[in-house]
Structure 1
Amino acid sequence: MARLFRDAYGVPHLRADSVTDLAHGQGRVTAHDRAWQLEWLRLRATGGTAAVVGGEVAQAWDAFARVARLEETARRAYDGCTPETQAFTRAYAAGINAGLAACDPAAVPELAHLGHVPGEWEPWTPMATFLAQQVLFGTIGSQLWDRLAREVLGDDARLLGHEGPQAAGSNAWVAGGGRTASGFPLIGGDPHRNLEQPGVYQQVRLVCEDPDDSFDVLGYTFVGVPGVQHFAHAGEVAWAITNACADYQDVVEDGSGLPLGNGLSVRTASWVLGALGFDALLPLLRARTVDDVDRAFDHWVEPVNNLVIADRGGALRYRIAGRVPVRDDSGEWVGWLGEPNRADAGPDGVLVTANERRGPESAAVGSSFSPPYRAERIRALLGDRVELTAEDFAAIHDDALLPTVGLLSRLVPGAFDDFDGVMAAGSAPAARFAAWRSALVRRLAAEPALAGLLAPGPAHDHGPLFAWSMDPVVHLGLALPTLAAEALAGRAPFGIDLPALARAALDDIAGADLPASWGETHVAQPTHALAEAGFDAGIPLLPVSGDQDAVRTMGSWPGITDAATRGAVARYVWDLADRGAGGWVVPTGASGLPGPHHADQLRPWLEGRLLPIVTDWDQLVEDSAFAKNASA
């Protein structure tokens, strides 16, 4: 039986005598804290959202979930796992069912709003929900866009490709003990995804007190998935990931994959293998060294990630984690990338990953990566500094310098000499720069040379699920640095005089009623699945610093909206000297229920602060009702 403790922010700390009791307890507390979110994830995984919320987007998602065979893939993945992994996942699902059975739907605002009762979780449901949260995190949308761009623009489509602009991303970096004040490594990072309420990640601590199988791990778990996956600190070892931008999904026209419509189908590593990599979960919890974590991720399938690891022995390692297809000249999958890309660093070294192209070895992994700005900025901030602390890493998280300001402002010399390039919420120059940038994107979108992107025809209509991926204004905004570099090199992209458009955009904002500060329009805007159904999640829109290519990534969409709908959905620093010396934070709170922990992390997250990681049991409060309910 598991015992539940909580810190001052409601983060669950669980203790149990066996891994299955621990998994059951994790499932129960997740059902208590995130009942609506669990039900929404189950509905998404099984293609049942439209029956509950209706609407065109829900219908499109359900159709995609069925043709992508999310449920079937999850069943195959569960059947292919080891008996121990199956028992672990089965116990977690049973804990969710026990927690939901004890839940009063009328006390969960979303369930009460819908008049809905949650359904039952099967042992394979955690795998299905994980797949549903990741399947569009790959390259399906970008490949559909690339088909349109190549058809309209030919070879010039590269100027709107994803080498340069990329909306997805995360940061992770590690410094060896020779660079830190403690003499032990530090890891920092933040995953970037859509801002949602409740949040995609759940802070958790899992402690198994079985004398023959003991561990004590804290980190972030995907809601609906047992253990911890991508970001964790196990005391002796810690790890973090970023998206590797790998090509593990192919959109094809030969009908050899899962049908997407318009004569297209998609191949994915998880579908081909019938696996996701859940056999990594228990080895990760038991890991003590860099080698242990490395071996655990040998099981991983998708999404394909960049992984950084450090341990108290001083080892630092980078590797690719996941299954990357090897293709023949015709594009057919003929095998899998063998030995993963790896790199070790010594005690005076640093490792940085921010979804960028890492070198020639990246050619075997993917075809398009994020721009180098974030990775270069993090390396510059680390520089040759020594005596680094968790506070120094938190300051790197909070760095809002936008490296592309210097490049873009060269299109209009002198126009932004008063702007230091920092996208601070209180900055008036940042607001003026952003207004000019949006005006420039709108002028670009009106150029006749790009008209074919705006009216592509039915062959490129992939429905509301991929509408954002197919929006040319989105891509033009992301591509501005690439287009500016072309223009400044004396080449007119698409035959367009970009400097002339840039000057005209200045005229567009001259005398306009501009926002007094960047934060007036750049507000954090978490989405809620029921927003269109009239449900108010109660999260205010508040000013936030940062922008798309800043280390403090809070994406805006020039020409469309300044609001930040995507950004850091968690931040953390793992200190190998002392877990309590690190910190973590999420955008809203630990709980999806109204109450003190629904949004009590919002203000620290906005301000770039990390919250303390509490490891001392005497500073935690035990929930005695949790054990009592389990006994009942």
Structure 2
Amino acid sequence: MTRPFEVFRDGLGVPHVRAADELDLAYGQGYVTARDRGWQVETDRWRAEGRLAARFGPGGLEWDRFAVRVRLADTARRVHAALAGPERDWLAAYTAGVNAGLVDGGRDVPEMQLLDRSPGGPVQHTPWPDWAPLGVFCVNHVLFSGWPGLLWREHVARTLGPDHPLIGTPDGASSGSNAWALAGARTSSGKPLLAGDPHRLLELPGIYQQVRLACDAYDVVGLAFPGVPGVLHFGHAAHDGHAMHDGAGPDAEGSVAWGITNAMAHHVEVFTESPATLEGAAHGVEVVPVRGADPVDVAWTETARGPLVTDRHALRWPVRVDADLGVASWRQLLRSRTAHDVAAAFGGWVDPVNRVLTADSTGTVLSLTAGRVPRRARSERVLPHVVRPHGEPPVWRQPATATPVADVAVDANDAPEGPDETQRVPDLGLAYAPHRGPRIRALLADAPGGGEGPPTQQRVHADVADAGAAALVDLLRDVTDPALAPAALRLRAWAADGARMAADSRDAALFACWRDALVRRVAAHPALAPLHAPHGLPVVLAPWLDVAANVGLRLPALLAAGAAGRLPLDGPAEAAAALAEVAGSSATWGELHPVVPWHALVDATGVPREQVPGVAPARRVAVGGSADTVCCTGGVPGVSTVSWRGSVARWVWDLADRRRSRWGVPFGASGDPRSEHHADQHARWAAAGTDEIETDWARLRPETWEAP
């Protein structure tokens, strides 16, 4: 199948895809995505199928075990089988475009060539099945919710007791995003403005793809998942009937925009099974091929709750329970013309659970929470559920209605507090981020003269103040040791001056080194020694079971428990001892905090970074910020200072004029390291900068190649 479409490029190499109708456009999006991100979409497809080891060798086997046990591919196939005709046709058109693009050069990239030269011979390629985009979406979200944290807390309860402070409400969350909405009264144009940035693993190529999709039904710019059709999370759609025409672009009559953040909801549940509850479970075995080695049999088991992700834990994932990913809502979202249309489209959203901000050029601003969530009390979100005889699973929570925003709304994975916020945002989770939300509200309260506009959002995107640092540094207030007092004084002065995690700051580096040392000392404390016993859980889940990482997330709670006598932990003494380890540090924060992106070929096969084109050393740019700052460039306190998680895109949607909207991503638009657009946005991203979006077709460069 071939379909007619056009591709234009802006100065950043971003594809603007134009076609006569939705299906031709889906084909074109699939084609250009395969051409630009062929390595990325293929590896995600292999991960969805549980066939990474067939291409990567033994290094991909642990992921494949997980994918088979959790039944990723089978879930995607079930979702596809349940689709209505229009959604099935849409996916088929996109998949056909991907297959055409892969054949027409998408697989001709250095990573694939390097893999072909590895022992085992060239990689064998097969066409994408129509369900593959659903599998790619599942791969990017199966570990996105908080369910691994349930297993961590169970490990704590089993080794340290059910009342241990590590089981209580965490002091922070390990993932998140920022988004904020400003009503017209706050802006220089008098029209609403939306902005934000999602925080995820920093991958190379980047996890989001800047794209424009235009046909007879809609014209949307936004951030897409490579391998998945549409613009699901962050989009700005214009509608004046001129999407197919050259000229200034569809900005004259009206537009609508949306952006999301993680709601931190308890929506994927874990059930602890027993021999009795395992009776009647379904079983199977998949043969997993391994490049350069013998194939491996991987057994799976599925109970009435869901597939076993460990030997005794079943996963109840709404996507699998209902065989539904909300694909109809993906299509409907593209056709939105008003904020109420966006809210209606998100009414069919399933996974993951998101907070949504949407606005349109009439001035309407709405806030809502979207996704399928079991109705559970807060006390039921702490540990895995024990399967009860004849127990019935909880019903899904009814979708919330959209709430109008008259002034400002901020979503930063924070807990809803106060009557206004609890009315706007439901409490669906357990672990929330405590600092970014209040900090963004404070920044927006200090508005620039003349009102807010797209350029003024950089002060928010770029903010590196660590709002939690001062309380931690206060542990050093009584340090009198002459060898430590100067360093303690430096840290107290730095905290009093705003605790900015600036890349050129030596004081910020000292704070980070001291906090790391403190986390390591607390993690190694005899009171926590039982946590280091083998947990017996799959290797894929190891990051969520890391003791130091979890201590870092809950450090204030542990120190408070020590101060209250609930733990034999002397916080000030440990803080002073940690300072003694690092008091001589002279590095800047940027020197300790370079961006080190995850790359499938490096991290799954062990190929040295220096051998993978485009990975090192040029991408190791020094950045400011941390895991707790608005400008998120997170490391793992107590584990590593390098930046491996952070803002994977930044976006600003101006409802007065889409041509003034802005966006930016780490690295660049192309996944091919040979391209001039592989990393041409990276330095600007490191400075929390963005670029205006070009929407004038006449100013775009038409692609010279022709699709097959």
TM-score relative to the length of structure 1? 0.94
2:43 is the counterpart of 1:59 = no
**More displaced stretch, 240-249 vs 385-394:** 385-394
Name the amino acid aligned to 2:205: P
2:109 is the counterpart of 1:47 = no
2:328 is the counterpart of 1:326 = no
Q: What is aligned with 1:233?
A: 236
2:404 is the counterpart of 1:344 = yes
**More displaced stretch, 597-606 vs 79-88:** 79-88
The 3 A distance-change label for structure 1 pair 371 and 492 is: farther
- The CA distance in 1 between the partners of 2:168 and 2:124, in whole Å, is 44
TM alignment of 1:379-458, pairs within 5 A: 379-383=441-445, 385=447, 387-413=451-477, 415=489, 416-419=491-494, 420=497, 421-455=499-533, 457=534
- The CA distance in 1 between the partners of 2:442 and 2:591, in whole Å, is 30
- The CA distance in 2 between the partners of 1:85 and 1:592, in whole Å, is 28
**More displaced stretch, 277-286 vs 530-539:** 530-539
Q: What is aligned with 1:132?
A: 139
Choose the corresponding residue for 1:191, options 198, 206, 215: 198
- The CA distance in 1 between the partners of 2:549 and 2:106, in whole Å, is 42
- The CA distance in 2 between the partners of 1:549 and 1:333, in whole Å, is 36
2:540 is the counterpart of 1:538 = no
**More displaced stretch, 306-315 vs 114-123:** 114-123
Q: What is aligned with 1:584?
A: 663
- The CA distance in 1 between the partners of 2:473 and 2:16, in whole Å, is 49
Instruction: Report the alpha carbon displacement of residue 79 of structure 1 after superposing the two structures with TM.
Output: 2.2
2:107 is the counterpart of 1:32 = no
- The CA distance in 2 between the partners of 1:292 and 1:96, in whole Å, is 29
Is the CA contact (8 Å cut-off) linking 2:170 and 2:553 kept in structure 1?
no
Q: What is aligned with 2:247?
A: none
TM alignment of 1:120-519, pairs within 5 A: 120-159=127-166, 161=168, 163-208=170-215, 210=216, 214-235=217-238, 236-254=255-273, 255=303, 256-327=305-376, 332-340=392-400, 342-346=402-406, 349-359=407-417, 366-383=428-445, 385=447, 387-413=451-477, 415=489, 416-419=491-494, 420=497, 421-455=499-533, 457=534, 460-486=535-561, 490-492=563-565, 494-510=567-583, 512=584, 514-519=585-590
What secondary structure is seen at the aligned counterpart in 2 of 1:228?
coil
Name the amino acid aligned to 1:523: P
RMSD: 1.9
Name the amino acid aligned to 2:226: V
- The CA distance in 1 between the partners of 2:196 and 2:404, in whole Å, is 18
- Partner deviation per Cα, 1:190-236 (whole Å, 9 max, x = no partner): 1110000011110000000x3xxx21100001110011000000131
2:682 is the counterpart of 1:602 = yes
Q: What is aligned with 2:109?
A: 108
What secondary structure is seen at the aligned counterpart in 2 of 1:276?
coil
2:673 is the counterpart of 1:613 = no
What secondary structure is seen at the aligned counterpart in 1 of 2:493?
coil
What secondary structure is seen at the aligned counterpart in 2 of 1:523?
coil
- The CA distance in 1 between the partners of 2:586 and 2:446, in whole Å, is 39
Is the CA contact (8 Å cut-off) linking 1:425 and 1:543 kept in structure 2?
yes
What secondary structure is seen at the aligned counterpart in 2 of 1:126?
helix
Q: What is aligned with 1:551?
A: 630
- The CA distance in 1 between the partners of 2:566 and 2:623, in whole Å, is 33
- The CA distance in 1 between the partners of 2:341 and 2:312, in whole Å, is 44
Name the amino acid aligned to 2:110: P
Is the CA contact (8 Å cut-off) linking 1:21 and 1:91 kept in structure 2?
yes
Is the CA contact (8 Å cut-off) linking 1:528 and 1:537 kept in structure 2?
no
Name the amino acid aligned to 1:464: V
- The CA distance in 1 between the partners of 2:522 and 2:100, in whole Å, is 55
Instruction: Report the alpha carbon displacement of residue 365 of structure 1 after superposing the two structures with TM.
Output: 5.1
How many residue pairs match? The answer is 613
- The CA distance in 1 between the partners of 2:692 and 2:557, in whole Å, is 40
- The CA distance in 1 between the partners of 2:183 and 2:432, in whole Å, is 25
Is the CA contact (8 Å cut-off) linking 1:197 and 1:537 kept in structure 2?
no
- The CA distance in 2 between the partners of 1:257 and 1:440, in whole Å, is 40
Is the CA contact (8 Å cut-off) linking 1:394 and 1:573 kept in structure 2?
no
- The CA distance in 1 between the partners of 2:327 and 2:427, in whole Å, is 22
- The CA distance in 2 between the partners of 1:47 and 1:319, in whole Å, is 35
- The CA distance in 2 between the partners of 1:260 and 1:177, in whole Å, is 48
- The CA distance in 2 between the partners of 1:183 and 1:530, in whole Å, is 48
Name the amino acid aligned to 2:197: D
- Partner deviation per Cα, 1:38-76 (whole Å, 9 max, x = no partner): 1101100000001111235x2121111112111121122
- The CA distance in 1 between the partners of 2:659 and 2:105, in whole Å, is 33
Q: What is aligned with 1:563?
A: 642
Q: Name structure 2 gaps, 5 residues minimum.
A: 117-122, 239-254, 274-302, 381-387, 478-487
- Partner deviation per Cα, 1:267-300 (whole Å, 9 max, x = no partner): 1110101011111122111101011001111111
